[in-house]
Structure 1
Amino acid sequence: MILVTGATGLAGSAIVREFARQNTPVRALFRSPDMARPLRGLTGVELVQGDMLRAESLTTALRGVDRVLMISSADKRMAETQYAFIDAVKAAGVPYIMKLSGKESGIGFDPFKFQGTREHVEIERHLEASGLAWTHLRPSQFMHRYLPGALTGVDAARRELRLPIGDIQLSPVDVEDIAKVAVALMRSDGHEGMAYDMTGPEALTMKEVVEHISQATGTTFTYVPVSLEEKLREFRELGVPEAFAQIIKDQLAERSRHPESYVRTEIHEAFGVRPTSFAEFAQRHAKAFLRL
């Protein structure tokens, strides 16, 4: 049996839906019944409630499991949560964890300059030292981060993408592609001790990103480079907690120091997954980009 944690989040829910689409039985761990509602009724999906931080709540979830796909929210407790969960998995006798990790696509990006990537590295090391068999899947920035409502997404009212990163490139990846690759990895053997980086099929400037959005929506969107201070002010106006705003500031600052981005689609190719372009993503989400 395969267990997927973080099953109600953006990546986790996409992965659970992909298991269902492929008629592969999977157990999905959730904390909130309300958040799990969209997953109810999916073919072959067994929903189990539990908390990754509380080993005593995971007995049912881990029973009969031989493979775990570990995902949790990228919040201030991500490292604590995944450390505790790895230890609980080992104690339960489950032999293998694949970690959905993360890696910036900027060439030379220092993962220790940004809390999110730093914690992914630290969790990977904890997993590698655990004695469990492991695999790391490291996608780059999600294309969904450009949708309205995301902190680094477009402003649908202004029809603007406002970011303090100048003309740098990023290589965002579609979450649906991540789901297809993750399911393929979990259904196959021979990946123990391997780490796979994963990006979208092209390195794009923010000007090119908004050009794709404009073409998909038939409406002109504009990229507006702003200062870090101005972006922080916008975060405060949105009510973003100061500590979280500072974390995003560190990410954006480090991105701006590394203007070129690599493209890694080898793992797509290994499993016959055609990489989704940003133009295709924008077409698929055209209505979402136009929402007010």
Structure 2
Amino acid sequence: MTENTHEKSTTLVLGGTGKTGRRVVERLTARGLPVRVGSRSGEPPFDWEDQATWAAALRGAGSVYLVYYPDLAFPGAADSVRSFVSRAVGSGVRRLVLLSGRGEEEAQVSERTVRESGVEWTILRASWFCQNFSEDYLLEPVMGGEIAFPAGDVAEPFVDAEDIADVAVAALTEDGHRGELYELTGPRLLTFADAAAEISKATGREIGYLPVSPEEYAAGLVEHGVPAGYATQLAGLFTDVLDGRNAHLTDGVRRALGREPRDFTDYAREAAATGVWGG
């Protein structure tokens, strides 16, 4: 695939401090490409809930890595994405790379918005991130020695955020990914109990997995200070996408990058080496 020969305009990376966005920013910066971090702490700031911040963030941007917070499946997401895409195209953006959720029917509304935008687009439908165990929802439970989660014994093809970032950067900088929808998975299926066992092996600590109901999970989040409405939505989303609908592998990483995706074992070993899980 060839590198985009268009003028090197700025890439706006929404969620630029998040799990995939931060990695995309690092890769673009390392290549000497102009990049703008789209976040509330960015300069200028970007806030999905404040459309007055959008124009400044988009100024001079030719491409956008489009990540919606908290999730494309949440109420109001489709309307916000539709408004943003219209604003982005009107401001001169000519390439959109959307991070979508695998198995999320609501997210496909935003996918259609991007497809119908009239500019170059690529869609990345990602499975459950490996990094959710070390950078987000499940970090504290792992550190506490027990992952209580509403996933039963369903298998999931956990995907590494490093792979997602590699695919995103390829789509943002090369001409061979126009009009492509990549479903991104890891190379094998693991249950959450399997994932806990992998982390146990990597850390030398006993990490258990406790299946709980969505209601129990939401109640636990509320006990830790998460607003009740958000906790319920989050538990519902996890329950939906982890009902077995995604329990199969795809070749998205291979098609986009010409290599196999990273394995969970490698992720767990490297994460453990950083000390993020203690010990």
TM-score, structure 1 normalization: 0.80
Which sits farther off after the overlay, 223-232 or 162-171? 223-232
User: How large is the RMSD of aligned CA atoms in angstroms?
Assistant: 2.5
**Cα distance, 1:201 vs. partner?**
1.4
Q: Distance in 2 between matches of 1:102 and 1:230?
A: 24
Unaligned runs of 5+ in 1: 37-46, 105-110, 113-117
Query: What CA deviation, in whole Å up to 9, does each residue of 1:1-54 have, x standing for no partner?
Result: 133222122211110101123x14132133434xx5xxxxxxxxxx65444553
Query: What CA deviation, in whole Å up to 9, does each residue of 1:183-239 have, x standing for no partner?
Result: 112121133222111011111011210111011001111111223332222122112
Q: Identity over aligned residues, as a percent?
A: 28
Aligned residue in 1 for 2:27:
18
Q: How many correspondences in the alignment?
A: 264
| 8 Å Cα contact 1:137-1:198 kept in structure 2 | yes
Say whether 1:264 aligns with 2:273. no
Query: What CA deviation, in whole Å up to 9, does each residue of 1:47-104 have, x standing for no partner?
Result: 65444553675256332x3322222322555434322220111212322212122214
Query: What CA deviation, in whole Å up to 9, does each residue of 1:225-264 have, x standing for no partner?
Result: 2233322221221121111121122223324542761112
Aligned residue in 1 for 2:270:
284
Say whether 1:122 aligns with 2:109. yes
Q: Which amino acid aligns with 2:37?
A: L
Matches within 5 A, 1:170-209: 170-209=156-195
Change beyond 3 A, Cα 1:208–1:171: same
Change beyond 3 A, Cα 1:67–1:32: closer
Say whether 1:90 aligns with 2:78. no
Say whether 1:28 aligns with 2:36. yes
Matches within 5 A, 1:111-260: 111-112=104-105, 118=106, 120-147=107-134, 150-153=136-139, 155-156=141-142, 158-255=144-241, 257-258=243-244
Unaligned runs of 5+ in 2: 1-8
| 8 Å Cα contact 1:62-1:89 kept in structure 2 | no
Question: The residue matched to 1:176 in structure 2 has which SS?
Answer: helix
TM-score, structure 2 normalization: 0.83
